[in-house]
A and B are shown apart, each in its own frame.
Chain A
Amino acid sequence: MSAPLLQVRDLKVHFQVRGAGLFAGTQALKAVDGVSFDLAAGETLGIVGESGCGKSTLGRAVLQLLPATAGSVAWLGADLTALDKTALKAQRQHMQIVFQDPLASLDPRMTAGDIIAEPLRNYHPDLSAVERKDRVKQMMDQVGLLPAMVNRYPHEFSGGQCQRIGIARAMILNPKLVVCDEPVSALDVSIRAQVINLLMELQSRFNLSMLFISHDLSVVRHISRRVMVLYLGRVMELADRDSLYAAPRHPYTQALISAVPIADPDKERAKPRVAVNDDLPSPLNPPSGCVFRTRCPKATEICARVSPPLQSAGAGHEVACHHWRD
């Protein structure tokens, strides 16, 4: 196996927020709290979790769109968090992002062609207008947009087409890494499958690495090679796709998987459910020890005292739970 493209080590992103009350000091909201993983070239890592688990913050911190509080993000061996602005800009062309809301992430006053060409203007100002236009049209063709629509504005496109524009913009510089932050969540069922296929096709054609952030465990299963489960900013479980879905070790992963409705009436009605109690605790005041213990059916006294480290539970399978063997 080749050296990983991306090595994230003990990454922390803490936000300072004002506490309740007029004279309260600031408190740290630990959105991402000590996340480590490797990403190889051409690999897709799915990142799942419920709202507020830090999955989007993690994606942005990897791209240095948010400053990391601690930890390192090594890109081909060089630490991105230590780079200055100019050096970081040079690296940025290799890493791109696709956002959730296809319309809101496109400038309404720019044409599709201008939007897709913007990264080229930024990084390859030497290209002539004709060359630029050619590359834009080529890219539009590759993402399934009619090149003839190059002069249209975002509002003239459907949601699925807007997402294709966003993908074309991310792909035009031939990046090595694309962070997809809920790229299909806003799309209709019939369009979602088309965009998933497009992402998978682009990935194999350009040997892309992807961080695929989603709350939808079914979509993540389809597109990822490995999957990371986040809860309150911490990694609960990280495993190969089939291993995670077939034999989840962490009680939170088990609860998540058992809660996903399956489009089959007999299976859906017969399946056992792992119950979790209560809603998410406040991320400002997370539980001591294991952050999941307040909702965990297996929690015991040790879980309140000791935060479980991520430990190996078989080949390529890591889990952060004191009781995963039970």
Chain B
Amino acid sequence: MSVLDIKNLTVRFATADGEVAAVSDVSLSVGKGECLGIVGESGSGKSQTFLAVLGLLAPNGRATGEVMFGNTNLLAADEKTLNGLRGDKLTMVFQDPMTSLTPHMRVGRQLTEVLIRHRNVNAAAARDQAIAMLRRVQIPEAERRFDMYPFELSGGLRQRVMIAMAMLCGPKLIIADEPTTALDVTVQAQILDLIRRAKDELNTAVILITHDLGVVAGLADRVGVMYAGRLVELGDVRQIFNAPRHPYTKGLLACTPRLDDTTVGTMPTIPGQPPNLQRLPTGCAYHPRCPAVMELCRVERPPLLATPTGSLNACFLENAS
């Protein structure tokens, strides 16, 4: 039974230069207590996919397809239904903890607001629950921090507050968009531990969007790789890292410098740069950069198909071999 089920999601933006598809025909699902990692470079559509899920697209954006969260199609839901779900059963943690907290409101009030709105508890009970949650995310001196403003907290503490807020109502799904990108590496490790605990202890489903393959390797159960608005590979985390099938996934892994890598000299690279979404190459969007390009790739787009190991891969090589 999946918590979130996305079918054929397409997100288009109306721009001065015409319509641009930021996300094209993405289908995926995430189950209870599962962590789905979504990786891709800037412009791959990984953030827009889930902003569409949350109903938070920019005004010029339009999403089509179907996004089932329980029995609700989020794309068809009205604002009232969405507001009832967001912050309660469906929560999010964004990249920058400074800009995603309200600067002129004390941390405590931002937390109790969630409970008072969704749980209909009185202020005293909300305060107790909020402080308990701040302790749970290992914020030292929780009572004192409760009365502080966001600017008085360090980046790591602010992100802990965001996670506390996301966990307050016992969500079914947390969408974390680059939750540790703005943080130092020692703090990042602590925040990832918190997300891992939320997943294990509360059986919450987590969607972890990031460009950092190492973060995904440590936390995700399954991984989806996006390129130019499409899902190009989706599989078990070990399959993606140990036996990647799509040439883009292989390329990404090869050109990621690793701490445990003792080789020196020239690094493997992916030639060229990610495509402009307004002028996508014909056929497979990756073909101009692909080392294994075939004639067919230039004219036809490879569909995302099941592989013998049960993963999904959008590459003609898969069928050829």
A267 CB contacts on chain B under 8 angstroms: 260
With A255-B186, A256-B185, A264-B241 already in contact, the answer to whether A190 and B261 are too (CB < 8 A) is no
Given A160-B273, A190-B251, A190-B269, are A218 and B257 neighbors across the interface (CB < 8 Å)? yes
Bound complex: CA A218 to CA B257 (Å): 6
With A222-B264, A279-B187 as known contacts, state yes or no: A193 contacts B214, CB within 8 Å: no
Contact of B241 among A190, A217, A265, A276 (CB under 8 A): A265
Interface size on A, residues (CB 8 A): 45
* B130 CB → nearest A CB, Å: 21
Q: Given B188, B242, B260, B264, which contacts A262 in the complex, CB threshold below 8 Å?
A: B260
Question: Within 8 Å CB of B237, what residues of A?
Answer: 265
Q: Does A188 make an interface contact (CB < 8 A)?
A: yes
Known: A262-B217, A263-B214, A268-B218. A193 touches B268 (CB 8 A): yes
Is A284 an interface residue, CB under 8 A from the partner?
A: no
Chain A stretch 248-270: residues in CB contact (< 8 A) with chain B: 255-269
- B267 at interface by CB-CB < 8 Å: yes
CB <8 Å contact, A217 and B140: no
Residues B159-212 near A (CB distance < 8 A): 184-189, 192, 211-212
CA separation between A69 and B71, bound complex, in Å?
Answer: 65
Q: Which 5 A-B pairs have the closest CB atoms?
A: A261-B214, A193-B255, A50-B184, A263-B213, A190-B270
Q: How far is the CB of B197 from chain A (nearest CB, A)?
A: 14
> Known contacts being A50-B184, A200-B266, A263-B253, is A188 close to B238, with CB within 8 Å?
no
Could you tell me how many residues of chain B have their Cβ less than 8 Å away from some Cβ of chain A? 47
B256 at the interface (CB under 8 A from A): yes
Query: Given A50-B185, A256-B185, A264-B258, 17 other A-B contacts at CB below 8 A?
Result: A161-B273, A189-B41, A190-B251, A192-B255, A193-B268, A200-B266, A217-B259, A256-B186, A260-B259, A261-B189, A262-B214, A262-B217, A263-B241, A263-B253, A264-B241, A264-B242, A268-B217
The answer on a CB contact under 8 Å between A215 and B184 is: yes
Q: Which residue of the partner chain B has the closest CB to A221?
A: B259
Interface status of A158 (Cβ within 8 A of chain B):
yes
Q: Is the CB of B255 within 8 A of A189?
A: yes
Q: Which residue of B lies closest to A263 (CB)?
A: B213
Contacting residues, chain B, for A310 (C-beta < 8 A)? none
Chain B residues near A219: list those with CB within 8 A: 257
Asked if B157 is at the interface (CB within 8 A of a chain A CB), the reply is yes
| B172 shortest CB reach to chain A, Å | 25
On chain B, the residues within 8 Å of A146 by CB distance are: none
Chain B residues with CB under 8 A of A269? 218
- Determine whether B68 belongs to the interface, using a CB cutoff of 8 Å to chain A: no
A280 close to B (CB within 8 Å):
yes
In angstroms, how far is the closest chain A Cβ from the Cβ of B253?
6
Bound-complex Cα distance A221 to B256 (A):
12
A160 CA / B188 CA spacing, docked (Å): 26
Q: In the docked arrangement, what's the CA distance between A160 and B218, Å?
A: 28
Query: Does A196 contact B267, Cβ atoms closer than 8 Å?
Result: yes
Other-chain residue from B41, B215, B259 in contact with A188 (beta carbon distance below 8 A): B41
